[in-house]
Structure 1
Amino acid sequence: MSIAYLSIGSNIGDRLQHLVGAVQALHSHDGVEVLAVSSVYETKPVGYTDQADFLNVTVCVETVVSAHELLVACQKVEQELGRVRTIRWGPRTVDLDILLYSNDNIETESLVVPHPRLCERAFVLIPLLEIAPTITHPVTGKLFSEEAAVRDSGVVLWKKVNGVKDFLQLKE
């Protein structure tokens, strides 16, 4: 069994339902169990900024599938929820990123773990630290709570969540 952390974001349509749908799809995938879901946070877009604000969560999953198989599952969830890739960092119904997979350091053409911009993005770090407050970077050993991005005031608690069951029942 491996533990992985994923970031999920949405800024098109019913943002919350896209997040809930993504977590439901992950949870129902063979070999993947969602153990924890952060509260929902709202953030301004990064990179391409001419778009709506995002809702973001981080989830912790326990899995028997490899990191590459988990990536395929995440991409399938994105497709099922209507993700269309037209503009890099552009608007999307849902985006799933593998942040961490056990303590693995993976660098392939299709997958880089830890996520290469993980330490720069408060919208990822703040929800991650909510569900794993003492987690460290598997390569550097540094606590994620010590990253400068954590102090970013642009991440706003949108809806407090008390566990996976509570999250799966949310409505916007």
Structure 2
Amino acid sequence: MSASLPSFRAYVGLGGNLGDVRATFQDALARLADTPGIAVETMSSLYRTRPVDATGPDFLNAVVALQVALGPRELLGVLQGIELAHHRERPYRNAPRTLDLDLLWFGGVVLDRPELTLPHPRMHERAFVLAPLAELMAQRPAAALAEGQNPVLPAAKDIEAYSKNQGIERLNGSNP
């Protein structure tokens, strides 16, 4: 990524419950890392999640932190292209999927457009987002405070309660 371009921290949620999800996540991360203007910082552990407002087998979920020198709509286009490369279909809302890449947060930008809402409108309701996001932010607390580009999360006890209620299980040693 060019040092002369401004960059923003973005958080992207990864999810899937069809096919070899771990391999799909590995490929998605490689594609992100190979995209000009995107640097992959770190990824959370994997979390197994019961479907929320969805059907099918359990999901694997994670969150990745990026530094991006793209705009939020351009990043969304990259994410949707990676989903399509993995045969993501949208036959109905919350259908089972090979790969779901949700732009959760983009450097504090607030948008409310038909194609993109930032921060993600349901981010604070979903333990499968909150637990891995909290994990990432705990890994970099000084940077999180200094940069001011990170979301404010519920208290740890609340995230734990959401996780228990929504059937979230952290998988040990689980980076893809």
TM-score with structure 1 setting the length: 0.85
The DSSP-based 3-state class of the residue aligned with 1:144 is coil
Q: Name the structure 1 match of 2:86.
A: 81
The DSSP-based 3-state class of the residue aligned with 1:3 is strand
Q: Name the structure 2 match of 1:158.
A: 171
The DSSP-based 3-state class of the residue aligned with 2:40 is strand
Aligned-partner residue type, residue 29 of structure 1: T
Residue 34 in 1 paired to residue 40 in 2?
yes
Write the distance in 1 (CA, Å) between the matches of 2:152 and 2:9. 19
Aligned-partner residue type, residue 27 of structure 1: A
The answer as to whether partners of 2:9 and 2:68 remain within 8 angstroms in 1 is: yes
The answer as to whether partners of 1:119 and 1:147 remain within 8 angstroms in 2 is: no
The DSSP-based 3-state class of the residue aligned with 1:34 is strand
Residue 2 in 1 paired to residue 12 in 2?
no
The DSSP-based 3-state class of the residue aligned with 2:64 is strand
* Unpaired segments ≥5 residues, structure 1: 162-166
Q: Superposition RMSD on alpha carbons, in Å?
A: 2.0
**Number of matched pairs:** 159
2:68 to 63, 70, 73: 63
C-alpha deviations, 1:55-91, integer Å up to 9, x for none? 0110000010000000000000000011011121111
* Unpaired segments ≥5 residues, structure 2: 1-6
Q: Shift in Å at residue 15 of structure 1?
A: 1.1
Write the distance in 1 (CA, Å) between the matches of 2:44 and 2:78. 20
C-alpha deviations, 1:21-80, integer Å up to 9, x for none? 1111111111001001000110001112x3010001100000100000000000000000
TM-score with structure 2 setting the length: 0.83
Q: Shift in Å at residue 143 of structure 1?
A: 3.4
1:54 to 59, 62, 73: 59
Q: Shift in Å at residue 160 of structure 1?
A: 2.5
Q: Percent identity?
A: 33
Residue 118 in 1 paired to residue 123 in 2?
yes
Residue 145 in 1 paired to residue 155 in 2?
yes
The DSSP-based 3-state class of the residue aligned with 1:132 is helix
Aligned-partner residue type, residue 117 of structure 2: V
Write the distance in 2 (CA, Å) between the matches of 1:59 and 1:37. 4
Write the distance in 1 (CA, Å) between the matches of 2:135 and 2:156. 14
Query: CA, structure 1 residues 145+19, in 2 after alignment: closer, same or farther (shift >3 Å)?
Result: farther
